């Protein structure tokens, strides 16, 4: 199973959308292998979004992400990175399709509720930055028995 890092930003918490957003991922069939509330430091956020350093939105992004607590989670499932990103929708809520998290719950071009890893490589780095190995729990085949056909060598 592929893993991805997702964190719900301060606006998701302040708007009382944590359960709604997590529920969408659970209903899709993702397994939550790590979950915690965190206060992200400015230093951590600057490093996390270092690829955007120098862009006009970088400083406002840092202020936004550090403005309150976040809920970080590791989701596991088939093609987790790509599927989670489709579920989140376009970066700007005003551009996101209905049916996506941002399309249904966000209008802002800055406050966009959720972050998800953009590649399996980024997921590995981000999971390691947010979670210690002993904070992650895999709970195996029984948990996915009715999500994937497991009669062959690979889940389908």
DSSP codes, 95-151? TSPTTSHHHHH---SS--SEEE-SSHHHHHHHHHHH--GGG----HHHHTTTTS--S
Q: Coil, strand or helix: which one is 11?
A: helix
Contacts of 108 (CB under 8 A, 6+ apart): 11, 92, 93, 94
Residue 7 near residue 115 (C-beta atoms within 8 A): yes
Annotated catalytic sites, by residue?
115
Q: Report CA torsion sign: 85, 44, 39, 55.
A: negative
Strand partners, 70: 38
Which H or E run includes 7? strand 2-8
Query: DSSP letter at 35?
Result: E
């Amino acid at each position: 199973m592929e893993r991805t890092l997702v964190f719900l930003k301060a606006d998701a918490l302040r708007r009382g959308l944590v359960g709604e957003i997590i529920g969408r991922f659970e209903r899709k069939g993702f397994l939550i292998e790590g979950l915690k509330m965190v206060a992200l430091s400015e230093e951590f956020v600057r490093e996390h979004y270092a690829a955007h350093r120098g862009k006009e939105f970088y400083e406002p992004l840092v202020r936004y992400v550090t403005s309150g607590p976040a809920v970080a989670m590791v989701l596991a499932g088939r093609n987790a990175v790509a599927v989670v990103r489709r579920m989140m929708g376009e970066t700007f809520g005003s551009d996101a399709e209905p049916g996506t998290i941002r399309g249904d719950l966000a209008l802002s071009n800055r406050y966009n509720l959720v972050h998800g890893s953009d590649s399996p490589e980024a997921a590995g780095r981000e999971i390691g930055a947010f979670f210690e190995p002993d904070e992650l729990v895999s709970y195996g085949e029984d948990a996915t028995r009715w999500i994937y056909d497991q009669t062959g060598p690979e889940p389908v």
